[in-house]
Amino acid sequence: DHCVYAPSSSVYGGNTKLPFSIKDAVDTPLSVYAATKRSMELFAHSYSHIYAMPLTGLRFFTVYGPWGRPDMAAFIFIRKILAGEPIPVFNNGNMRRDFTYIDDIVAGVLACLDKPPVAQEGSAPNRVYNLGNNNAEPLMRFISVLEDALGQKAEIDFQPLQTGDVPETSADISETQRDFGFEPKTTIDEGLPRLVAWYREYYGA
């Protein structure tokens, strides 16, 4: 048996060293959400230690694409731009995210399924990895590419950084590349038009 679960890049909390590495400390969650994701990792480690069950945690970085949650930024932006409503852009647009297309996330999950961690002397069969695009993009460029895909300009409502949020995320995926051969393939220039095409078909927009 091998259990693969999904914590989050949010566990890196207030870390200022970029890109985020799995070797970095993750003891400063900035939100309740981040704290629950870190708790998940700790529970997994304990469970793995007690029951010798292989567990792998994949820290997803800003996933977007078809069938995503409608409360996530990409979907909010698309919906509001099409409706002619202003989109909220936090930290006055000074944000960078390691946007990762859903197909690359799925490829990463599948790649690790058949490679469960092996217990070493004094350690449980438990590992965590970063699953990201290995390229932090400015949020304003993300919006620009989305505007081009939609054929419509966004009205932007600049706002301060939200409490519990961070200005930048960036994934060091060297361990994921080494152990699973993971190589993300989808840039936002490719992924966002695919998302928009799916959105228009699914929602009839």
| Residues 13 and 166: beta-carbon distance below 8 Å | yes
pTM of this structure: 0.94
> According to the model, what pLDDT value does residue 122 have?
79
Instruction: Answer for the pair 63, 105: CB distance below 8 angstroms, yes or no.
Output: yes
Residue 5: active-site member? no
Tens-digit pLDDT profile for residues 112-161: 999 999 998 878 999 999 999 999 999 999 999 999 999 999 999 999 99
Model pLDDT for residues 79-97, shown as the tens digit of each residue:
999 999 999 999 999 999 9
List the strands of the sheet with 3-5, edge to edge.
Answer: 3-5, 55-60, 126-131
Q: What is the 3-state secondary structure (H, E, C) of 134-179?
A: CCCEEHHHHHHHHHHHHCCCCCEEEECCCCCCCCECCECCHHHHHH
Alpha-carbon distances of 112 from 22, 47, 108, 133, rounded to whole Å: 16, 19, 6, 16
| Burial call 59-78: b when 16+ CB within 10 Å, e when fewer | bbbbbbbeebeeeebbbebb
C-alpha distances (whole Å) from 90 to each of 95, 119, 147 are: 8, 43, 18
Q: Give the closest residue to 124 by CA, choosing from 51, 61, 67.
A: 51
Report how far residue 16's alpha carbon sits from residue 104's, in angstroms, rounded to the nearest whole number.
Answer: 26
Please name each of the domains of the chain with its CATH number.
3-203 (3.40.50.720)
Q: One of 12, 33, 101, 199 is an active-site residue; which one? A: 33
Interatomic CA distance for residues 14 and 161, integer angstroms = 14
